[in-house]
Structure 1
Amino acid sequence: MLDATIPVGVSGEDLDIRSDGAVLRGRLVRPMGTQRAALVLHGATGAPARYYRGFAEWAARERDLAVLTYDYRDFGASLRGPMRASRATLADWGRLDQGAALAALARIYPDTPLWVLGHSVGGLWMGWHPAMGRVSRAITIGAGLTHVSDHPWRYQWKARVFWSPPVRALARVAGYLPGGLVGLGADLPRGVYEDWRRWCTTRGWHLSDVGRTLPLPDPARVTARLRMIAVADDDLVPPDAVWRARALYPEAMKEQKVLRPGDFGLERIGHIPPFTRRNAVLWPAILD
């Protein structure tokens, strides 16, 4: 379905993506001319696909990229029923839904170079995605194997409250995590919160479940040129946690980059805000 509300210079359409029994709602934005690559954007936990809309339109218009954004199962525009009935997990989002979105883009563009951009959790699962073998360039931002003790003290108390037994009990009673009550904003399926909680309070993050509830990834799939971006003032995923994730992709050609607020005339950047329109000054540094 064509979208007539997007800016001049790009075209867009909504589409459905099948993912292991779930249907994900996606949006593909294309440049008006020939695209030089097709990029899938795997979003952060709790960040709806609409949040990335400005970035996707800019990348299509200014960088000639076709950009696919989408919402994970039972979240955002992909929510099909009451969230309390959802059985979705964060592992489903990372392993299945991200893999399905990349595979869908590969089918749409069989002869176009494929790129991946992963924000936060969106950058930690590439070894599970079969279509990564076709990807020539990958970028992660704020994607790290974070333990609760990694947060600076100014944020650590908030994180420990977020993972505390009362918040876990709230999610159990409600049947989902009411994001507005705990400062997250977006509601999350209970299984997503449970995975997230367990991994952020366990060394090694999701690797702690590999060989138990998670199958083995295949790091050899990820041979793309990989730019790993950390944000200097990211309290949620500090740079040291981002560099720790290098071990996930031993075969990739890796580049490390740090975004510092002062370099862009900003007072702060943080974890989620790099993709807001007011921080568009960051976008060339992420993509170019």
Structure 2
Amino acid sequence: MTVIQENLSLPAKDGYPLSATLFTANIPSSHFVLINSATAVPRQFYKNYAEFLVQEGFSVLTYDYRGIGGSRPANLRGFTARMRDWALQDMAGMVDWLRSEKCPDKIFMIGHSFGGQAAGLMDNIDNIAGMLTVSAQSGHWRLQGGEQKLMVLLHSWVTLPVTGFLLGYMPWSWFGGEDLPGKVSSEWAGWCRHQDYILGDKTLPLDRYNKFNIPVLAYSIDDDKWGTEKSVDAMMKAYPNLERRHIVPQTEGISSLGHFGYFRAKSEPLWKEAVSWLKGLQAVS
């Protein structure tokens, strides 16, 4: 099967243009999967996973949050985007676009880390038939594993807020990701300092999580020190219709996964279980 890629510029809910890629087969499926990225991860990272889903009978949309990848302005200094905008404006805007432009039979979401943490904040969740999350954890520093406990503590109190303030943006590329707008880094830091992470920010529409009653399958990964089993439990308790699964890489014949390995090509054997779960929801009227 030939996978067709179309690069697009799509509007967020407030009209901000987001770079996106639509993956389809020669005869496009009317069942769509929207992939919500992890923090500071560009959409190209999910290309192999998206192509696999197309081979399995889905159409797939990936996109970059504002300030990241193709959605980054020429200068991040002074860019006013906050992390909440990624959910309230960007995620929700992609759902609106799929609904209005593609008239899908069903929309599913894949949420990696932040992409699963914040999906419950959207105002149009009635359009989603199911969500699968990978390492969608609480970012509170006490819940991280090993040396990451101290690293997240340092980032929460020093690196993210101070560097973002001094430079006007956070050079997260120093740590292997994409640079972050200053207000994104400061809001993220504040959430990580709170014992309830996002769920402790009363300025957010947290009541929407209770209404997110569609099926959610949440994966944690045994060697993920950012997304420990405990931290994933702490975040995903916000979703009322939750199924949990824990992956031990060695049991699956994979040496390691960490926070990002699930979406790398070596993990394709793990993707079949996810597809089976999504196809089970396809059949539900």
User: What's the TM-score, normalizing by structure 2?
Assistant: 0.89
- Equivalent-residue separation in structure 2 for 1:278 and 1:44 (angstroms): 19
1:135 to 128, 147, 157: 128
Please, which runs of 5 or more residues in structure 1 have no aligned partner? Answer: 1-7
Please name the residue that 2:54 is paired with: 60
- Equivalent residue letter for 2:114: V
CA offsets per residue over residues 223-255 of structure 1, 9 Å max, x none?
A: 3221111111110021112122333222x2x21
Misfit runs of 4+, over 4 Å: none
Please name the residue that 1:152 is paired with: 145
Please name the residue that 1:242 is paired with: 232
- Equivalent residue letter for 2:10: I
Please name the residue that 1:115 is paired with: 108
CA offsets per residue over residues 111-133 of structure 1, 9 Å max, x none?
A: 41110111101112233323321
What's the offset of the Cα at 1:100? 0.8
Please, which runs of 5 or more residues in structure 2 have no aligned partner? Answer: 277-285
Do the aligned partners of 1:94 and 1:121 also contact (CA within 8 Å) in 2?
no
- Equivalent-residue separation in structure 1 for 2:272 and 2:216 (angstroms): 16
Instruction: Indicate how the Cα distance of structure 1 residues 204 and 68 shifts in structure 2: closer, same or farther if over 3 A, else same.
Output: same
- Equivalent-residue separation in structure 2 for 1:200 and 1:188 (angstroms): 16
Q: How many residues align?
A: 275
- Equivalent residue letter for 2:66: R
1:207 to 193, 199, 203: 199
Deviation larger for 269-278 or 126-135: 126-135
CA offsets per residue over residues 175-196 of structure 1, 9 Å max, x none?
A: 1111233x24321111111111
- Equivalent-residue separation in structure 2 for 1:100 and 1:223 (angstroms): 20
Please name the residue that 1:80 is paired with: 73
Identity rate, percent: 24
What's the offset of the Cα at 1:166? 5.2
SS of residue in 2 equivalent to 1:227? strand
1:222 to 199, 212, 225: 212
- Equivalent residue letter for 2:233: W
Do the aligned partners of 1:46 and 1:184 also contact (CA within 8 Å) in 2?
no
Do the aligned partners of 2:88 and 2:123 also contact (CA within 8 Å) in 1?
no
What's the offset of the Cα at 1:51? 0.6
- Equivalent residue letter for 2:101: I
- Equivalent-residue separation in structure 1 for 2:41 and 2:135 (angstroms): 13
Do the aligned partners of 1:106 and 1:131 also contact (CA within 8 Å) in 2?
no
Please name the residue that 1:69 is paired with: 62
1:90 aligns with 2:83: yes
Do the aligned partners of 2:77 and 2:168 also contact (CA within 8 Å) in 1?
yes
What's the offset of the Cα at 1:220? 5.1
Instruction: Indicate how the Cα distance of structure 1 residues 198 and 110 shifts in structure 2: closer, same or farther if over 3 A, else same.
Output: same
Please name the residue that 2:273 is paired with: 285
What's the offset of the Cα at 1:216? 4.0
Instruction: Indicate how the Cα distance of structure 1 residues 179 and 246 shifts in structure 2: closer, same or farther if over 3 A, else same.
Output: closer
